[in-house]
Structure 1
Amino acid sequence: MNSDSTGPAADPGFNPVVFYGAVALIGALIIFAFVNASEASTIFQAIQDGATDNFGWLLVFTVNILLVLCGILAFSRFGHIRLGGQEAKPEFSTATWFAMLFSAGMGIGLLFYGVAEPVTHFANPPSTFFSNPEAHASRGFAANAQHAMGVTFLHWGLHAWGIYAIIALALAYASFNRGMPLSIGGFLQAAFPRIPNLLVDLIDVLAITATVCGVAASLGFGASQINAGLTILAGIPDNAPTKFVLIVVITALATTSVAFGLNKGIKRLSEINMVLALVLAVFVFVVGPTVFLLDGFIQNIGYYVQRFIYLSTWTETYSPENWQGGWTIFYYAWWVSWSPFVGIFIARISFGRTVREFIAGVLLVPSLVTFIWMTVFGDSALYIEMFGAGGLAEAVSKSMPDALFAFLAHYPLATIASWLAVVIIATFFVTSADSGALVTAMIASGGHHHASFVSRVTWAITIGLLAAALLWAGGLGALQTAAIVTGLPFALVLLLMAAGLYRMLDTEHRQLVRAQAL
């Protein structure tokens, strides 16, 4: 290829089948959603119901297998293997590394669900969640609150980060230690040399589609929440045109950020939004029921640890309810659909880490920070609902995007805090979009670490267009469907990658043992 070219083909390793195949598939989805909005909404709901009813077990099985493998690798003979070779040094400081992987891995979701999810579970707990419903009923609100935080920790904790850890470790090892492209297909070709090239290309197309749909879902949630905040703070209408304008503006900012690249744009924004999020969390912690939150954090961790096996393997088998379809299965599918994006991004920033350090950092630190965040916002909201003025459950049931702002209205300096929340959501919005665009461009360029400017910008715009199309076609329900439908098939790819990773690490360990014996 001519290196002076300005198009996507300027990328080293550019694969036209993957690039144009993914563009065509996602473009068809965007056009269908815009042209047939009412029909698309019905179809999306039917697809989501069918997927969750018939394949929810696959996601529960997959995330548990991946989490178990994380523990095996961390404590195994492979733990000392260093990404990039034994002499490799980390590219980023530990603090910057944590900020980048955390803002890419969760971001908008923490702002959107930090108040809304615990309050929703508190007000409407799933009856099949409790091993002893009669005892639960007799304990009343206290049991509801504890179970609400327990299931929230399940959705946002170790299982989510276990998905990211395995795919990121597999890609980082193959790229930095084996010299393979930083792509899903490239890893599978290294782990399973006999895999057909066409299947590799199809898997990369699926990875791009999953990434774009997963990030677009997050951007849709972010646009809805920013719109809700601006309606409360500035009287701006809460409607589809406003959301489209927000998506256009944020996508433009993300495009600018991704154009600057990893070290100038994404790195700086990640550090900024982590600082702003910390300021908001400290404000709520200090002004809110501080002692209640300290007590709650310890008890929430204890409950999560004690019920870990039960929580992890609960599938609603013996009940006609489908509560999990809208919550646990959606979350797992959302994390899986995000996994190509987050996995490649974490791999890209993790050069020089050992396997043990990598798993501990990716799995434990973000989970702990997430638990702190959910306790600060979730338990503060539950405190208002149980011991204060109340009204949050009703507000959340009416509009989930309004939840955070309805919550902050109970605090002093509510207007300032709400504006700060809007800014944080917007910066998380940008980091999710620009990181997603960077990773998608890397996949489409054959896993090359430095995809072209045109390719990065193309995918940033595509993600924004898809988020707008899904909101137009079916609102938050369409966003959920996109995550579930792309997450389900990619779960099989993750299981294959887990097997390949173990196989490759075992081969290197045997080679090191032989070399030391000579």
Structure 2
Amino acid sequence: MLDQLQRRLGLRTDSVIFFASAALTILFVVTTISLTDTVDSVFTKASDWILTNLGWFYILGVTTFVLFLIWIALSRYGHVRLGGQDTRPEYSNGAWFAMLFAAGIGTILMFWGVAEPISHYADPPEQGVKPESAHAAERAMAFALYHFGLHTWAIFCLPALAFAYFVYQRGLPFRVSSILHPLLGDRINGPIGKIVDVTAVVGTLFGVSVSIGLGTLQINSGLHELFGLPQNKLVQVLLIAVVTAIATASVMSGLDKGIKILSNINILMAVGLLIFVLVAGPTLFMAKGIVETTGTYVSSVVPLSFWNDTFANTGWQGNWTVFYWAWTITWSPFVGIFVARISKGRTIREFVMGVLALPSAFTVIWFSIFGMGSFDIEMNGSGGLVKAVVKEGDVPGALFTFLQNYPAATLISALSVLIVVIFFTTSADSASMVVDMLCERVDEKLPTPTRQRVFWAVTQGVVGGTLLAATGKSGLDALQQVITVIGLPFFVIAFVMMFSLLRALREDFPELGRDPLAKQLAARSATPAEPPEQAAEAEKEPVG
């Protein structure tokens, strides 16, 4: 019946995954609107339990991801090229970096670049640190970079690498269930695989919806600052409609013309904003700060990777770090599959080092400049950031309050709004493409109709807009609680990814376990296997 329905609609998809995901999404939205208090209560309790009792598991787990990825990149398996030894990357390093950055945490850096450092500066996470002191500023940078550096990108990199390997090495579809292939074999196409993929689709939609909400709030705050536009539900829904329309147009134009062009333009604009703040602000203070903050991050990342706030037990880590990890893990199928899609032809070593190192290095520079600029405003300037962001809780407006202290504030604020809009658009665009991949038919290699990607792009906007219109901020809060709960099974699956990937590498490249120089890999990947007769003759030849 479902197959007949999709044929009538002109779709080319796995009907079970597609319609089950769509139905669950609609059911959740309707239930949330109708029974907001009940849904919020259930998921709040579940989320609070996870944050309280499993926080240590998240902290240790993400650190394990980082260590595993670094190990596999430096190991003999680092020579394995995704797609075969003769395959070369489809995109240049610059275009590749722009796309993976824009689809990853570009919007989040715009949102938190000022807000997080100034929050930890005014309210230090660690006991014994005096608020609004030089020491508080140093620790604030350490925590901000811990949250958005290697650890966040490890959460994205691990599934991205697993997807890329199983798709390009074993010819499996772009689905989360494909990572279970070493364990289940062809049974990934059965009920267990369907459940995993439906969960991935719904989780991705919810994760994107939270970012849609955050992006909308920041855009609304910027337009309020520029034009006095009201900050209310109607304006926010209209903003979502406009951005969804742009994302839909990008989807219809395809990956190369849509996401690639938007990403390249946006990364240039973001770098332009970064350079402006550096030049127009306290340049020497920021330049020194970049160097010092890099050292602070390097010296702090190991202790913070295992810090659990055990003795003070303030609950801070649950509200910040654990929530970040839980939220980020719901994004991991989306970002992971998208990064895998644009990374064919790179070796495992290039892949891991690129995905971990490049965005993390840019993050260090970004937070150093905006964070140090924020501290300078509070320590040596007119102040006001602590009051606006921390005391008054205007987190979405933090960037625009910051820019009021710079020349051409109106123009630069308008540019910042545009950057957020494009980051927002590329995320929605990328997510719709990835969700469409998750619903792809295994037995059909033809390109999927554009209408499917358009459907998911519109669905994302409808979910975000409906929640904002129906329940306002409480609706987004409820959704955040939901994805914290949904994030737990994804977190468990991430451990399965490590096991499956390592098992698959050992099965596919057994010689790498014996060859310390990995010389056999090049011959294996670059030349076809010998015919049985030749192989038998080779075995008869004397060695040496």
The residue type equivalent to 1:307 in the other structure is S
Aligned 1:99-498 pairs, distance under 5 A: 99-126=98-125, 129-130=126-127, 133=128, 136-137=129-130, 141-190=133-182, 192-193=184-185, 197-397=190-390, 398=392, 399-446=394-441, 450-471=447-468, 472-473=470-471, 474=474, 476-498=476-498
Give the Cα–Cα distance (whole angstroms) in 1 for the partners of residues 336 and 66 of structure 2. Answer: 15
The SS at the match of 1:18 is helix
Deviates more, 1:305-314 or 1:344-353: 305-314
Once the two structures are superposed, residues 357-383 of structure 1 have per-residue CA deviations (whole angstroms, 9 ceiling, x without a partner) of 111100100100011111111211111
In structure 2, runs of 5+ residues without a counterpart are 513-519, 525-537, 540-544
Give the Cα–Cα distance (whole angstroms) in 1 for the partners of residues 144 and 205 of structure 2. Answer: 25
Check the 8 A contact 2:222/2:413 in 1, yes or no. yes
Query: Partner of 1:17 in structure 2?
Result: 16
Check the 8 A contact 2:60/2:305 in 1, yes or no. no
Shift in Å at residue 50 of structure 1? 2.4
Shift in Å at residue 243 of structure 1? 0.8
Please give the TM-score of this superposition, normalised by the length of structure 2: 0.89
Once the two structures are superposed, residues 73-117 of structure 1 have per-residue CA deviations (whole angstroms, 9 ceiling, x without a partner) of 111000111010000011111110000000001121111111101
Check the 8 A contact 1:30/1:465 in 2, yes or no. no
Check the 8 A contact 2:122/2:132 in 1, yes or no. no
Query: Partner of 1:507 in structure 2?
Result: 507
The residue type equivalent to 1:459 in the other structure is W
Once the two structures are superposed, residues 18-37 of structure 1 have per-residue CA deviations (whole angstroms, 9 ceiling, x without a partner) of 11221122111211222334
The SS at the match of 2:396 is helix
Give the Cα–Cα distance (whole angstroms) in 2 for the partners of residues 463 and 207 of structure 1. Answer: 14
Q: Which structure is richer in relative contact order (CA contacts within 8 A, separation 6 or more)? A: 1
Deviates more, 1:292-301 or 1:504-513: 504-513
Once the two structures are superposed, residues 158-211 of structure 1 have per-residue CA deviations (whole angstroms, 9 ceiling, x without a partner) of 011112111111111111111111111123125542756211111111111221
Shift in Å at residue 318 of structure 1? 2.4
Give the Cα–Cα distance (whole angstroms) in 2 for the partners of residues 119 and 365 of structure 1. Answer: 25
Cα RMSD (Å): 2.2
Please give the TM-score of this superposition, normalised by the length of structure 1: 0.93
Going from structure 1 to structure 2, the CA distance change for 1:499 and 1:8 (only over 3 Å counts) comes to: farther
Give the Cα–Cα distance (whole angstroms) in 2 for the partners of residues 253 and 103 of structure 1. Answer: 16
Check the 8 A contact 2:36/2:475 in 1, yes or no. no
What is the identity percentage for the equivalent residue pairs of Structure 1 and Structure 2? 41
Shift in Å at residue 390 of structure 1? 0.8
Deviates more, 1:72-81 or 1:48-57: 48-57
Give the greater-gyration-radius structure (CA). Answer: 2
Once the two structures are superposed, residues 324-373 of structure 1 have per-residue CA deviations (whole angstroms, 9 ceiling, x without a partner) of 22210111112111100000000000011011111110010010001111
Give the Cα–Cα distance (whole angstroms) in 1 for the partners of residues 45 and 179 of structure 2. Answer: 34
Going from structure 1 to structure 2, the CA distance change for 1:487 and 1:178 (only over 3 Å counts) comes to: same
